[in-house]
Amino acid sequence: MFNDLKIDRSRPVYLQIKDYLKELIFSGLLQAGMRLPSTRELSAVLQVSRNTVIQAYQYLEDDGFIRIIKGQGAFIAFETEDTAHTGLQLDWEHLMSKYALMATELDVEKKELKWKKGMLSFKSIAPDPELFELEDVKRAFLNRLACEGKKLLNYGYAQGYKPLLEYLQTYMKNKGVKIEGKALLITNGFTEGLNLVIRALTKPGDQVICENPTHNTALKIMRLSGLEIKGIPMSLDGLELKQLEACLDQQQIRFGFLIPSYHNPTGLVMSPEKRQVVLEIFQKYRVPIVEDGFNEELRYSGAHVAPLIALAGESNNVIYIGSFSKILFPGIRVGWIMADERLIAYLESIKRAHNIHTSSVDQGLLYEYLQDGRLDKYLKKVRRVYRQRHQMAVALAKTYIPDCRVWGEGGLHIFIELALNLNARQVLDECYRQGVVFMPGDIFFTDRSGENTFRLSISRVTPEMMETGFKIIGDVVKQVMKQLN
Amino acid sequence: MFNDLKIDRSRPVYLQIKDYLKELIFSGLLQAGMRLPSTRELSAVLQVSRNTVIQAYQYLEDDGFIRIIKGQGAFIAFETEDTAHTGLQLDWEHLMSKYALMATELDVEKKELKWKKGMLSFKSIAPDPELFELEDVKRAFLNRLACEGKKLLNYGYAQGYKPLLEYLQTYMKNKGVKIEGKALLITNGFTEGLNLVIRALTKPGDQVICENPTHNTALKIMRLSGLEIKGIPMSLDGLELKQLEACLDQQQIRFGFLIPSYHNPTGLVMSPEKRQVVLEIFQKYRVPIVEDGFNEELRYSGAHVAPLIALAGESNNVIYIGSFSKILFPGIRVGWIMADERLIAYLESIKRAHNIHTSSVDQGLLYEYLQDGRLDKYLKKVRRVYRQRHQMAVALAKTYIPDCRVWGEGGLHIFIELALNLNARQVLDECYRQGVVFMPGDIFFTDRSGENTFRLSISRVTPEMMETGFKIIGDVVKQVMKQLN
């Protein structure tokens, strides 16, 4: 005993001795009442300074594993209990709720083909980390911590960190939102935002509307919440208004989930005129709209288009969910909901019951980072980069992928529609074998249609990667077409 | 127009001009097609440099609000839409789900007496921010960001940040947990952890067991999840084992929620022998235990007591929820679940559907902070401070509050039981008038009993505050007793 400890000089040595002795205690080799070697003895055996051993013994005493009796030595104080019991093995699968089974079943991360090292990936629409400004982030953190670090490290408010709430209020006002009577709630990103709204407005079995196709995470959350989803078809011209109205007229709809700007996955932008009409239709049937602000900041060209919540003016039926995760730092998980203040009060209580509040440190960091026009400058930079990639992606897709329609005006992705008789999963399977991965389109559809579509993310790829990858995709499509003829 | 802008020289001036012009556009004073003053004119009117105005115009163009035509000037590009519509006002209260109404009803923050400036508060068990080591936090952040900042700022994994997972695995192993076959999931604090477990193991209407009294947030979450709660009475000796076994025998229990160490609110520690028996009883009925690690780190004296998950050995029926929020930084909202790896896989998918993952920045910061034995050193410090406060609180409560029983051996609070005929809320109301606030005990009880109890937090108070506050409480208790006689 004691001389089989291999000491790693790059880590604090007293910690290693402490952990080693704990292991001996847990394993039963050192039992309650036994005396440890003196600090002098152990330091000689381990060839470390006596002080190091003294320190290790002190922490062990502090943790309640040994008792040091003056003049007598250190004794094991912890009784290893017999942990055999029945060796009970529960079968978790049979104990799982339907919710848990469904969450696993709907988990795209687990069910879809995974990126492997060396592959060309057009799958994730995470932002390009090379665009992050690390030095600004560090400075923002240090500044904010210097201002009110102790406050930020302790419990905060469920609604959010006040300075950030005020910043976002002005930010939304600058999008044209009439902020009187409205309030904000900070969330752990868009995903939590949508979950909170669904918890507040629906119960399982309720009906909701969304665009078909739509954001796959939103679809997952709605399905998992037991909602009956009415998908309204999209053409290249956007949402089909007649079907929207018919659906609202015939069904009891709890809300409509819409992505008016740079829609995921199609990349379409709803025109100002169409926004007006959509608003009027929802208002006629007194149904709330949940507006996903998603990619709104990634406008590449053209005039500013006001979000639905701005166009709605004094009306209170639009619930806006915002996030900077597609441009700034998704790693900090901060999003927000803006809506009627009476609705926000309910959402706040649900949020508090779910996780008390969103990290104050992250909120403080984001707030400080956004100061002094830094967001504007950053947006200017990333819009330029992503616009170039987007334009190139559209051009390359048209060049290499035969007989396809390329959807979308912006965002971090393009959406490809193949001829109707082609199956995108068949294309994906062959591409995957050749080292290219992307997102099959059917996961975005409410009715599992869209089998001839797929989404290509362009947020983290170079022109060379697109050239190589799209060429492989195009060749596979040709090959599949040939097989069909 | 234009000359009513008051410029604040402490903020970037171009931003103020930009925001001001946006307001004019949204208000309809500047309409599509109108020409803005030249940059030369506007700089003269506002008495700012011409470059500042040029910058403001460029950002406005970038945002799509104006169009700059060379040689002609800057024109408003954004059409203000008529936002009148129906001025629809939905009545949210009637649209709310039962869940939302209940979350609000059960929201202690909204329903209980609030601390007001100048009051003595014994209400919250948040840690004392004066003990936080800000410089260490800053250093940890900078180090981690320097190592892998771009990775931390982008999307991470639902299960958690790998280095932190590895750290916590060793940490749990050092508590004696047999880690083979077990896995970890990082959560947004304990609160999310318990929500995830409930979502995985139960559906509304299911029955669960807990100690009576128990942690009020846990009670809230269980009630909100529609669970039927079976409270097992606690005596000064802890959980009543006969009633526990009778309950497990007669009911279909989905899990038992237990706080074996420094139980909230009573402060009791379950003895190693009792832990063995409790484990055996749950294993006999093949029922999972959800163990709240809560205050485990705040052991003030005595031998180390192994958590249930350690005592369970190879058995897989204990789900441990851990958190450093009561000692380290609750502001960052990082907790963890350790359980059978098959259960963790389900929980991971639910977590991903709820909020994708916990902030990677916070996880990285915490990981780096915990290195080099910093947690041990920090624990040593805070244990000493809190132990002193706890001892003093017990002594002062016994001195000033007549005819009371003081529960508990540790933690950040003491629990007071008055004579049976006294009502703690009546005491609280009068204390509140005299500037003292604390947590009434009934909110911790499954059956709304405990009307003669209350909890006094001692985490953020000086000896003087305790002396003054407890004296007021004691005097009020005497007064109420007199009224009853």
Q: How far apart are CA A355 and CA A193, in angstroms?
A: 13
Cβ atoms of residues B18 and A377 within 8 Å: no
| 3-state secondary structure labels for all residues of chain A | CCCCCCCCCCCCHHHHHHHHHHHHHHCCCCCCCCECCCHHHHHHHHCCCHHHHHHHHHHHHHCCCEEEECCCEEEECCCCCCCCCCCCCCCHHHHCCHHHHHHHHCCHHHHCCCCCCCCEEECCCCCCHHHCCHHHHHHHHHHHHHHHHHHHHCCCCCCCCHHHHHHHHHHHHCCCCCCCCEEEEEECHHHHHHHHHHHHHCCCCCEEEEEECCCHHHHHHHHHCCCEEEEEEEECCEECHHHHHHHHHHCCEEEEEECCCCCCCCCCCCCHHHHHHHHHHHHHCCCCEEEECCCCCCCCCCCCCCCHHHHCCCCCCEEEEEECCCCCCHHHCCEEEEEEHHHHHHHHHHHHHHHCCCCHHHHHHHHHHHHHHHHHHHHHHHHHHHHHHHHHHHHHHHHHCCCCEEECCCCCEEEEECCCCCCHHHHHHHHHHCCEEEEEHHHHCCCCCCCCEEEEECCCCCHHHHHHHHHHHHHHHHHHHHHHC
Around Cβ A38, how many Cβ atoms within 10 Å?
Answer: 14
Quick: pLDDT tens for B422-447.
999 999 999 999 999 999 999 999 99
Q: Mean pLDDT, to the nearest integer, of B213-220?
A: 97
Residue A192 has pLDDT above 60, yes or no: yes
Residue A37 has pLDDT above 90, yes or no: yes
Quick: pLDDT tens for A442-468.
999 999 899 999 999 999 999 999 999
Please list, in sequence order, all residues whose beta carbon lies within 8 angstroms of the beta carbon of residue B45, skipping any fewer than 6 positions away: B2, B3, B37
Residue B310 has pLDDT above 80, yes or no: yes
CB-based contact (8 Å) between B352 and chain A? yes
Quick: pLDDT tens for B244-285.
999 999 999 999 999 999 999 999 999 989 999 999 999 999
DSSP annotation string for B137-153? HHHHHHHHHHHHHHHHH
SS3 B471: helix
Domains of chain A: 13-76 (1.10.10.10), 110-130+377-484 (3.90.1150.10), 132-372 (3.40.640.10)
Question: From the CA of B344, how many Å to the nearest CA of chain A?
Answer: 10
Asked if A138 and B141 come within 8 Å (Cβ–Cβ), the reply is yes
Considering only the beta carbons, identify the residue of B132, B153, B355 that sits closest to A189: B355
Q: How far apart are CA B223 and CA B319, in angstroms?
A: 20
The number of CA neighbours under 13 Å toward the Cβ of B103 is 26
What pLDDT score does B180 carry? Answer: 95
Phi/psi of residue B76, nearest 5 degrees:
-65, 130
Quick: pLDDT tens for B359-397.
999 999 999 999 988 998 999 899 999 999 999 999 999
Pick from A69-83, A257-271, A391-405: least confident: A69-83
Which A residues 388-447 touch B at CB under 8 Å? none
Which residue, A336, A324, A319, A257, is CA-closest to A295? Answer: A324
CB-based contact (8 Å) between A286 and chain B? yes
Q: How far apart are CA A152 and CA A364, in angstroms?
A: 7
Quick: pLDDT tens for A374-395.
998 999 899 999 999 999 999 9
Q: CB-based burial of residue A216 (10 Å sphere; 0-12 exposed, 13-18 middle, 19+ buried)? A: buried
Q: Mean pLDDT, to the nearest integer, of B187-203?
A: 97
Cβ atoms of residues A354 and B190 within 8 Å: no
Q: Mean pLDDT, to the nearest integer, of B62-91?
A: 83
Q: How far apart are CA B93 and CA B96, in angstroms?
A: 5
Asked if A103 and B349 come within 8 Å (Cβ–Cβ), the reply is yes
Region of residue B101 (phi > 0: left; psi between -120 and 50: alpha; otherwise: beta): alpha
Residue B120 has pLDDT above 60, yes or no: yes
Question: From the CA of B36, how many Å to the nearest CA of chain A?
Answer: 16
Which residue, A172, A445, A190, A178, is CA-closest to A292? Answer: A190
Set of chain B residues whose Cβ sits within 8 Å of the Cβ of A376: 15, 18, 59, 62
Return the biggest CA–CA distance within chain A.
93
Q: CB-based burial of residue B120 (10 Å sphere; 0-12 exposed, 13-18 middle, 19+ buried)? A: buried
Set of chain B residues whose Cβ sits within 8 Å of the Cβ of A106: 349, 353
Question: From the CA of A40, how many Å to the nearest CA of chain B?
Answer: 23
The number of CA neighbours under 13 Å toward the Cβ of A105 is 10
Q: Mean pLDDT, to the nearest integer, of A214-225?
A: 97
Residue A265 has pLDDT above 90, yes or no: yes
Q: How far apart are CA A222 and CA A100, in angstroms?
A: 14
| Dihedral Cα A351, A353, A356, A357, nearest 10 deg | 0
DSSP annotation string for B392-409? HHHHHHHHHSTT-EEE-S
* Total beta-carbon pairs less than 8 A apart between chain A and chain B: 404
What pLDDT score does B304 carry? Answer: 82
What pLDDT score does B370 carry? Answer: 94
* Residue recorded with tokens 């208002």: A283
Which A residues 89-128 touch B at CB under 8 Å? 89-90, 92-93, 95-101, 103-104, 106-107, 109-110, 124, 126-127
Quick: pLDDT tens for A416-431.
999 999 999 999 999 9
Q: Which residues of B19-40 are buried (b: 16+ CB within 10 A; e: fewer)?
A: bbbbebbbeeebeeeeebbebe
Does pTM surpass 0.90?
A: yes
Residue A225 has pLDDT above 90, yes or no: yes
Cβ atoms of residues B267 and B386 within 8 Å: no
Please list, in sequence order, all residues whose beta carbon lies within 8 angstroms of the beta carbon of residue A171, skipping any fewer than 6 positions away: none
Q: Which residue of chain B comes nearest to A342, CA vs CA? A: B92
Residue A83 has pLDDT above 60, yes or no: no
What pLDDT score does B83 carry? Answer: 55
Q: Mean pLDDT, to the nearest integer, of B11-24?
A: 90
Cβ atoms of residues B401 and B473 within 8 Å: yes
B136 residue type, one letter: D
pLDDT-based confidence at residue A99 (cuts at 50, 70, 90): very high
Question: What is the H or E stretch that residue B68 is in?
Answer: strand B66-69
CB-based contact (8 Å) between A340 and chain B? yes
What pLDDT score does B92 carry? Answer: 96
Write down the ipTM of this complex.
0.93
β-pair partners for A437: A121
Residue B140 has pLDDT above 90, yes or no: yes
Phi/psi of residue A318, nearest 5 degrees:
-105, 130
CB-based contact (8 Å) between A164 and chain B? no
Quick: pLDDT tens for B144-154.
999 999 999 99
Asked if B99 and A199 come within 8 Å (Cβ–Cβ), the reply is yes
Residue B334 has pLDDT above 70, yes or no: yes
Please list, in sequence order, all residues whose beta carbon lies within 8 angstroms of the beta carbon of residue A371, skipping any fewer than 6 positions away: A140
DSSP B207: E
Q: Which residue of chain B comes nearest to A155, CA vs CA? A: B331
What pLDDT score does B327 carry? Answer: 81
What pLDDT score does B372 carry? Answer: 86
Quote helix, strand, coil % in chain B, to nearest 5: 45, 15, 35
Around Cβ B6, how many Cβ atoms within 10 Å?
Answer: 6
Q: CB-based burial of residue B456 (10 Å sphere; 0-12 exposed, 13-18 middle, 19+ buried)? A: buried
Around Cβ B72, how many Cβ atoms within 10 Å?
Answer: 9
What pLDDT score does A184 carry? Answer: 98
Residue B238 has pLDDT above 90, yes or no: no
Which residue, A173, A188, A161, is CA-closest to A306? Answer: A173
Asked if B333 and A376 come within 8 Å (Cβ–Cβ), the reply is no
Q: How far apart are CA A424 and CA A450, in angstroms?
A: 9
Which residue, B107, B216, B237, is CA-closest to B446? Answer: B216
Interface probe with A: pick from B18, B128, B188, most Cβ of A within 10 Å: B188
Quick: pLDDT tens for A339-362.
999 999 999 999 999 999 999 999
The CA–CA distances, whole Å, from B417 to B309, B407, B422 equal: 31, 8, 9
Q: How far apart are CA A474 and CA A483, in angstroms?
A: 14
Q: How far apart are CA B180 and CA A483, in angstroms?
A: 50
Q: How far apart are CA B76 and CA B30, in angstroms?
A: 7
Which residue, B128, B171, B175, is CA-closest to B326? Answer: B128
DSSP B419: -
Phi/psi of residue B210, nearest 5 degrees:
-150, 170
Strand order in the sheet with B318-323: B182-187, B335-340, B318-323, B289-292, B253-258, B207-212, B228-235, B238-239
pLDDT-based confidence at residue B81 (cuts at 50, 70, 90): low
What pLDDT score does A86 carry? Answer: 67
